[in-house]
Amino acid sequence: MENLEILRKQLLNKAKEQVMEEFSSPEIQLVKAVNLLEDLDRIFNLMAEHCIEWYSVHFPELRETIEDNALILKLVAELGKRENFEEEVLVQLVGEEELSREIFQASKNSIGSELSEKDFAEVLELSVNALRLKKQREQLESYIQEKALGIAPNISQIAGALLASRLLSKAGGLKRLAMLDSSKIQLLGAEKALFRHLKTKRKALPPKHGLILQHSFLQQLKPWQRSAMSRALAGKIAIAARIDFFSPKSRADGKLQDSLQAVFEKCQKIPEKPQRQFPVLERTRRPERKFFKKFNKRK
- Give residue-wise pLDDT tens across range 213-252: 999 999 999 888 888 899 999 999 999 999 999 887 777 7
Quote the pLDDT of residue 185: 92
Quote the pLDDT of residue 272: 78
Quote the pLDDT of residue 73: 92
Q: What one-letter code names the amino acid at 143?
A: Y
Integer Cα distance of 200 and 196 in angstroms: 6
Q: Supply the CATH classification number for the domain 157-268.
A: 1.10.246.90
Is there a contact between 90 and 74 (Cβ–Cβ < 8 Å)? Answer: no
Integer Cα distance of 168 and 148 in angstroms: 9
**HEC readout, the chain:** CHHHHHHHHHHHHHHHHHHHHHHCCHHHHHHHHHHHHHHHHHHHHHHHHHHHHHHCCCCCHHHHHCCCHHHHHHHHHHHCCHHHCCHHHHHHHHCCHHHHHHHHHHHHCCCCCCCCHHHHHHHHHHHHHHHHHHHHHHHHHHHHHHHHHHHCHHHHHHHCHHHHHHHHHHHCCHHHHHHCCHHHHHCCCCHHHHHHHHHCCCCCCCCCCCHHHHCHHHHHCCHHHHHHHHHHHHHHHHHHHHHHHHCCCCCCCCHHHHHHHHHHHHHHCCCCCCCCCCCCCCCCCCCCCHHHHHHHHHC
Count helices and strands (H / E) in the chain: 16, 0
Quote the pLDDT of residue 255: 79
Q: How far, CA to CA in Å, does 148 sit from each of 86, 113, 145, 155, 250?
A: 44, 49, 5, 9, 16
Is there a contact between 134 and 70 (Cβ–Cβ < 8 Å)? Answer: yes
Residues of the chain with CATH 1.10.246.90: 157-268
Quote the pLDDT of residue 21: 56
Domain 23-146 has CATH 1.10.287.4070: yes
Q: What one-letter code names the amino acid at 272?
A: E
Q: What is the pTM of this model?
A: 0.74
Integer Cα distance of 281 and 250 in angstroms: 64
Residues of the chain with CATH 1.10.287.4070: 23-146
Quote the pLDDT of residue 293: 53
Is there a contact between 230 and 208 (Cβ–Cβ < 8 Å)? Answer: yes
Quote the pLDDT of residue 39: 92
| Regions of the chain with pLDDT less than 50 | 278
pLDDT tens track for 27-72: 888 888 988 998 999 999 999 999 999 999 888 888 888 888 999 9
Q: How far is CA 245 from the centre of its chain?
A: 25
Quote the pLDDT of residue 284: 54
